[in-house]
């Protein structure tokens, strides 16, 4: 009881970000009027109840960032506040940014989504050190960029999860959906080969610099040192900060709430992709027939609720249908970090949630419903089980 009280007191005393952007009122998908004080009270209450050190929130309306706030702390020990300019680990939000970069190459006709990836490489895939495990399994010749982006390569999420720590196909390429970070890493190799540039330079030149995202990168930058968040586990204990030096399309992105919100806005405004390319990236391409995104539930048949919303995957983004129209989403999870974004393109509204706590996904369902009016997001598939 005492620890909960102290934690709640800390949140109460934590300043809001000095760079917060907030209008007097935000209107939800279902037409409710949300004044800024009401938003702040709800967020703080949920953070206190679920014991969440820090959380950043962006609400987008008319394809623009209308509300941007950071709550709580980036470091509980020093009581340093989380700010909208604080560097936070994006985890699998990395894949959404990478998908946009890939689709730029597609619209430039430098990459064909359905051409076998090995034809872009100067040597057979198993001759690369990272893919020697595929020697003798000719199915690598079937892999395409579309399979990588729709998570239908048949490769596991990560090879180290396998008992022998080696890379194997779980099923035939193209047969079904199965979330795979390995698939995105393979596509990164191909993209870097085609362009003769590394992911850090490519993403900076094509996305981050044009949009003015000075504090976003696929590797750790010296500029992050002055203001970055620590991640916290379910018990509120700090986790070591990983400062990544190797770029990974599947999950090395470091960003800030302000930067990632600006990225979402630019995407919604058509600044990154042509309308036809954007439509291809965010349309449903493979149905998701399973109950959970990860773990044992990822092999269990989906409930009727998933079929009712047409849960599917596009190119780098999940998709579903709702009473408010078509939506596309991307989340990012790791120990100490929980992130979620969803865009309702017909209504020109979106939400971004970034948190430095493993507990944050416990309040995502309520935040989506109360702050955006989104009751269609497949929270059970996402395992956003309320606290």
Which pLDDT score, from 0 to 100, does residue 368 have?
Answer: 98
- Per DSSP, 377 falls in state S
Comparing 309 with 2, the larger pLDDT belongs to 309
Tokens 């895939």 found at: 125
Cα angle 149, 323, 363 (rounded to 5 degrees) comes to: 70
Q: Rounded distance, CA 187 to CA 143, Å?
A: 10
Q: Is residue 188 packed enough to be buried (19+ CB in 10 Å), middle (13-18) or exposed (0-12)?
A: buried
In which band, very low, low, confident or very high, does the pLDDT at 6 lie, cut at 50, 70 and 90?
A: very low
**Domains of the chain in sequence order:** 2-83+204-274+317-382 (3.40.710.10), 102-195 (no CATH)
Bridge partners, residue 334, by sequence: 337
Residue 18 has pLDDT above 70, yes or no: no
Which pLDDT score, from 0 to 100, does residue 2 have?
Answer: 38
Name the pTM for this structure. Answer: 0.94
Q: DSSP per residue over 98-136, as a string? A: HHHHHHHHHHTTS--TTSBGGGGSSS-GGGSGGGGGGTT
Q: In 3-state terms, what secondary structure has residue 295?
A: coil
359 closest CA partner among 90, 130, 135, 55? 55
Tokens 């395992």 found at: 383
Q: Rounded distance, CA 355 to CA 236, Å?
A: 13
Q: Rounded distance, CA 5 to CA 2, Å?
A: 5
The two three-digit tokens of residue 64, written as one number: 């623009």
* pLDDT tens-digit readout, 83-96: 999 999 999 999 99
β-pairing verdict for 54-61 and 88-91:
unpaired
Q: How far is CA 270 from the centre of its chain?
A: 19
Residue 3 has pLDDT above 70, yes or no: no
* pLDDT tens-digit readout, 219-256: 999 999 999 999 999 999 999 999 999 999 999 999 99
Which pLDDT score, from 0 to 100, does residue 301 have?
Answer: 86
Q: Rounded distance, CA 236 to CA 176, Å?
A: 38
Which residues have C-beta within 8 Å of that of residue 286, sequence separation ≥ 6?
Answer: 150, 151, 152, 176, 177, 312, 313
Q: Rounded distance, CA 334 to CA 15, Å?
A: 26
Q: Rounded distance, CA 83 to CA 199, Å?
A: 27
Which pLDDT score, from 0 to 100, does residue 227 have?
Answer: 98
CB 290 within 8 A of CB 298: yes
83 closest CA partner among 19, 153, 40, 127? 19
**Region class of 185: left (phi > 0), else alpha (psi between -120 and 50), else beta:** alpha
Which pLDDT score, from 0 to 100, does residue 197 have?
Answer: 98
Which pLDDT score, from 0 to 100, does residue 21 have?
Answer: 55
Share of the chain above pLDDT 90, in %: 89
Q: What is the mean pLDDT of the chain?
A: 94
Cα angle 197, 155, 343 (rounded to 5 degrees) comes to: 70
In which band, very low, low, confident or very high, does the pLDDT at 25 lie, cut at 50, 70 and 90?
A: confident
In which band, very low, low, confident or very high, does the pLDDT at 5 lie, cut at 50, 70 and 90?
A: very low
Q: In 3-state terms, what secondary structure has residue 199?
A: helix
Q: Rounded distance, CA 26 to CA 40, Å?
A: 12
Expressed in percent and rounded to 5, the helix, strand and coil fractions of the chain are: 35, 20, 40
198 closest CA partner among 110, 101, 299, 292? 101
Residue 157 has pLDDT above 50, yes or no: yes
């Amino acid at each position: 009881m005492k620890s909960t009280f102290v934690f709640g007191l800390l949140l109460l005393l934590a300043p809001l970000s000095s760079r917060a952007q907030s209008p007097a009122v935000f209107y939800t998908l279902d037409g409710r009027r949300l004044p800024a004080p009401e938003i702040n009270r709800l967020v703080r209450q949920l953070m206190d109840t679920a014991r969440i050190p820090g959380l950043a929130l962006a609400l987008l309306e008319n394809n623009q960032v209308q509300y941007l706030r950071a709550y709580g702390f980036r470091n509980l020990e020093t009581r340093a506040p989380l700010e909208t300019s604080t560097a936070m680990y994006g985890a699998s939000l990395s894949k959404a940014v990478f998908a946009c970069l890939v689709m730029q190459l597609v619209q430039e006709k430098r990459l064909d989504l359905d051409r076998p990836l090995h034809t872009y490489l100067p040597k057979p895939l198993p001759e690369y050190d990272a893919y020697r495990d595929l020697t003798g399994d000719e199915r690598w010749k079937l892999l395409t960029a579309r399979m990588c982006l729709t998570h239908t390569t048949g490769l596991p999420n990560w090879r180290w999860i396998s008992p022998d720590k080696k890379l194997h196909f779980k099923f035939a390429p193209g047969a079904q959906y199965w979330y795979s970070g390995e698939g995105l890493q393979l596509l990164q190799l191909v993209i870097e080969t085609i362009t003769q540039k590394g992911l850090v330079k490519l993403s900076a030149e094509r996305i981050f610099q044009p949009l003015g995202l000075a504090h976003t990168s696929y590797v750790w930058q010296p500029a992050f040192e002055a203001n970055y968040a620590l991640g916290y586990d379910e018990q509120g204990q700090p986790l070591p900060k990983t400062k990544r030096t190797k770029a990974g399309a599947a999950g090395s992105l470091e960003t800030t709430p302000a930067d990632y919100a600006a990225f979402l806005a630019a995407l919604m405004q058509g600044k990154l992709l042509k309308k036809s390319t954007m439509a291809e990236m965010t349309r449903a391409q493979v149905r998701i027939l399973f109950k959970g995104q990860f773990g044992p539930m990822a092999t269990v048949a989906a409930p009727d609720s998933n079929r009712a919303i047409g849960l599917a995957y596009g190119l780098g983004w999940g998709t579903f249908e709702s009473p408010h129209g078509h939506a596309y989403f991307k989340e990012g999870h790791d120990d100490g970090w929980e992130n979620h974004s969803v865009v309702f393109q017909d209504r020109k509204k979106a939400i971004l949630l970034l948190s430095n706590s493993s507990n944050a996904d416990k309040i995502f369902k309520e935040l989506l419903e109360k702050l955006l009016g989104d009751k269609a997001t497949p929270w059970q598939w996402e395992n956003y089980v309320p606290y």
